[in-house]
Structure 1
């Protein structure tokens, strides 16, 4: 199937893909969104049931399209799903669901986008906006292959009920790790295994949510190199309940275990502790394997880019990479800025 040179294929219809489509249309392109799932909402429906945004609704939406309801509430997973679906319906662009991209290759001065069904779409430019949920990072842990308990990435976690009465170790020190450990503690004995102690950040300071200050002080816009000097580790936004629960022993925190031994984890001090389930809240990597045939990735499978613009193929750009250009790059409140930036770069090239 052939398209005119103005066609830009956007891989993924989550928040990043929808923001890119909006920017591409405004720039005069004909966006074509290809989404592997059945709805234009990205990976949001697959997140755990109790997930809520750690930013208030007023800081969690695309420009000019606020989330409905109280702007100071923290929207739930399902509210975000409904918001994205409604936003997609207003875009007036070509959007195909149930279409999985398996590889991208060059074709003349543009690209050929190959789908799982065998279709080949010609495009002047490509926006890789496929997120990272489909590529959970599982670290190499000594003895993991011989562990007789259950191991899953937090991507596969939904609700605490099925872990009732278990001894659960949650690996990680970010927002997901703490939220999951906190709710599991209602039904299970929970230990948080961390490389460094959880860095709690007050959700409210001076009577205002921290996202007010992130915006006011422009911390949201800091480049990653500068940001790393301002914020150490992964901040966990907390109204006080998570820190208090940890202090009270509701769940506990220990330095990362050194390995597995049968149905036990072995802590650095040599203590062995039985574990029924280990949940890895160890992050994700960009889900962009389809770009490997293009030669756009490094040896670790990560995009070779600067600010979301490919260093190998000028007509290829990215949207929604973590810390792509700032602290808020892969968030609802910030992805539109990166989308506008990379689409402008794409237009300058084409």
Structure 2
């Protein structure tokens, strides 16, 4: 019979590592199960030029600061190295290549099965896989007829494959703007948006925007305590003259197209335009199918939870959900406080 853990963390990205840090501080027996061959979450799959939208001093996991200038904006590879070093420094028990396929609740214990055939037993579970494993692409009329290339921003790496092409990027968030601006240097690129892009300044009165967000308490304001949904910002942080470049038409922006046709897209005014590629920067949806048999999810597959504590399955917790407890949840700067809160609740559960 396999040993029984106090807790098992599913997912070895930033949310899972922050959870592991707090579990270790409490002296609990736990393991982190990571589906891939390294504990870096979704970061290796992001586009090459990605950099954080918040400076390093506001973007660290608990117990260890991001290296480099506190006021710098770390790049993708710097974050990946940081996550590797974090795992090593705190000697977190991460098991890689352990993709969880099913979680079952048997009495007071959970049984967790992985794709390799391993089976684990535990008193509690922290689901830390977040929402970045299930890219969302809207179903648009004529898509099956389009002969060009359609991809999600999660599949985009760099502009090289699109040199000289006609490209449409769907979306108006930070990733859509970063990708669109980068592509506009080598291709004819437009943004397709439901509403015009709105910007906020990176620096206000000489300080990064996140300094003021943190100072006034908005970043960690506990909306959940008042039964309120955490608001989602509809503005883009202007890290690199993005507003100026959009104003110059590099890229330009148009109201969202209505449909595809064989060679391109049909804009709202009825104009057909040939297009080589369409990139959807349209976000993600939860992918927690491994919890399907536990009763933890609603009809649309979303977790039934309050502040990271399951509403229907005692002993089940979450870290890394967008808007879980605050505006910062699901970010590098937000998963630490969320993990601390969840581990306190978890400790009460396993010791009662």
Deviation at 1:58, TM superposition (A): 0.8
Structural mapping, 1:58-77, within 5 Å: 58-77=57-76
Distance 1:192 1:286, change over 3 A: same
Distance in 1 of aligned mates of 2:229 and 2:194: 19
Corresponding residue number in structure 2 for 1:268: 268
Question: Would the aligned equivalents of 2:323 and 2:329 in 1 still touch at CA under 8 Å?
Answer: yes
Distance 1:228 1:246, change over 3 A: farther
SS in structure 1 of the partner of residue 293 of structure 2: helix
Structural mapping, 1:125-274, within 5 Å: 125-223=124-222, 233-239=233-239, 241-274=241-274
Distance in 2 of aligned mates of 1:7 and 1:215: 34
TM-score by length of 2: 0.95
Q: Deviations over 1:44-82 (max 9, x none)?
A: 111100000011111111234111111111000000000
Distance 1:35 1:54, change over 3 A: same
Distance in 2 of aligned mates of 1:77 and 1:126: 29
Distance 1:20 1:64, change over 3 A: closer
Distance 1:208 1:86, change over 3 A: same
Distance 1:232 1:26, change over 3 A: closer
Distance in 2 of aligned mates of 1:233 and 1:227: 19
Corresponding residue number in structure 1 for 2:327: 327
Deviation at 1:334, TM superposition (A): 1.1
Distance in 2 of aligned mates of 1:89 and 1:256: 46
Question: Would the aligned equivalents of 1:263 and 1:275 in 2 still touch at CA under 8 Å?
Answer: yes
Deviation at 1:160, TM superposition (A): 0.1
Distance in 2 of aligned mates of 1:230 and 1:131: 16
Given the alignment of the two structures, is residue 13 of structure 1 paired with residue 12 of structure 2, yes or no?
yes
Corresponding residue number in structure 2 for 1:283: 283
Structural mapping, 1:92-111, within 5 Å: 92-111=91-110
Q: Deviations over 1:261-286 (max 9, x none)?
A: 22221111212211110000000122
Deviation at 1:257, TM superposition (A): 1.0
Question: Would the aligned equivalents of 1:199 and 1:233 in 2 still touch at CA under 8 Å?
Answer: no
Root-mean-square deviation (CA), in Å? 1.8
Deviation at 1:240, TM superposition (A): 5.7
Structure 1: tracts of 5 or more residues without a match: none
Distance 1:333 1:233, change over 3 A: closer
Distance in 2 of aligned mates of 1:310 and 1:41: 25
Deviation at 1:188, TM superposition (A): 0.7
Distance in 1 of aligned mates of 2:230 and 2:314: 32
Given the alignment of the two structures, is residue 40 of structure 1 paired with residue 35 of structure 2, yes or no?
no
Distance 1:240 1:158, change over 3 A: closer
Deviation at 1:302, TM superposition (A): 1.0
SS in structure 1 of the partner of residue 273 of structure 2: strand
Deviation at 1:300, TM superposition (A): 1.1
Distance 1:75 1:93, change over 3 A: closer
Higher deviation after alignment, 224-233 or 168-177: 224-233
Distance in 2 of aligned mates of 1:239 and 1:302: 32
Aligned pair count reads 349
Deviation at 1:301, TM superposition (A): 1.1
Distance 1:245 1:227, change over 3 A: farther
Structure 2: tracts of 5 or more residues without a match: none
Question: Would the aligned equivalents of 2:170 and 2:279 in 1 still touch at CA under 8 Å?
Answer: yes
SS in structure 1 of the partner of residue 190 of structure 2: strand
Question: Would the aligned equivalents of 2:14 and 2:61 in 1 still touch at CA under 8 Å?
Answer: no
Distance in 2 of aligned mates of 1:263 and 1:224: 47
Question: Would the aligned equivalents of 2:169 and 2:278 in 1 still touch at CA under 8 Å?
Answer: yes
Corresponding residue number in structure 1 for 2:298: 298
